[in-house]
Amino acid sequence: AQTVTQSQPEMSVQEAETVTLSCTYDTSESDYYLFWYKQPPSRQMILVIRQEAYKQQNATENRFSVNFQKAAKSFSLKISDSQLGDAAMYFCAYRSARDGGSQGNLIFGKGTKLSVKP
Amino acid sequence: KAGVTQTPRYLIKTRGQQVTLSCSPISGHRSVSWYQQTPGQGLQFLFEYFSETQRNKGNFPGRFSGRQFSNSRSEMNVSTLELGDSALYLCASSRNPGLVWNEQFFGPGTRLTVL
């Protein structure tokens, strides 16, 4: 069974600084998708960034980028120029690409609570 | 375009009761997944429905059940509630599990408290 581990329960960053959230996963599959989700306090979970395992190039979305190390099974999220609105729980998630990606369920890590100091 | 809606937003029940939660997906989305979120266990997959059929099921007891209607709306039911069922129940909708990305859009959740 696949597992996702986020080893940092809480992180803190100064506004405008850069922070990296860690995520490791365990799987025997070769093809899969990885995601970072953001859950602001009392608000809906939204997708931040996604990565296909077969793509070597790291995904980027504006101030958010990932460092995907397939051999090490590591998928960290870097937030540049942190803003107060980035304060939230961040979840790393895995989804199998088996059956053409039809296994819709996401496997989540326990989350990292990010605080942004003004 | 309206997002995923879940009703009710908050619910308080007592042990032994049963509860039904509802999820209306984004228009055009035919797949609905349910997740349970607790401080101790984090986010855990409950089940996934597509075209009124359960496609996948997580490791939860039979007290947890669900269904999907022809308009893609979904309900989940928990019978004989236990204290440990207190959680935030999240619903996520997506277009079609057969699509490569099949991005899931989450609702605001239903906060269930079991006393």
Q: Cβ atoms within 10 A of the Cβ of A18, count?
A: 12
Residue in chain B nearest A111 by alpha carbon: B42
Asked if the C-beta of B39 comes within 8 angstroms of chain A's C-beta atoms, the answer is no
Asked if the C-beta of B36 comes within 8 angstroms of chain A's C-beta atoms, the answer is no
Continuous segment of H or E residues that includes residue A99: helix A98-101
B45, B100, B103 member nearest A105 (Cβ): B45
Q: Helix (H, G, I), strand (E, B), or coil: what is residue B83?
A: helix
**Predicted confidence band of residue B1 (pLDDT cuts 50, 70, 90):** low
**Does the pLDDT of residue A50 top 90, yes or no?**
yes
Over residues B38-83, the pLDDT tens digits come to 998 999 999 999 999 998 889 999 999 999 999 999 999 999 999 9
Tokens for A54?
Answer: 């077969």
Task: Quote the pLDDT of residue A1.
Answer: 81
Instruction: With beta carbons less than 8 A apart as the criterion, state whether A47 and A88 touch.
Output: no
Asked if the C-beta of B106 comes within 8 angstroms of chain A's C-beta atoms, the answer is yes
Over residues A60-112, the pLDDT tens digits come to 999 999 999 999 999 999 999 999 999 999 999 998 887 655 556 889 999 99
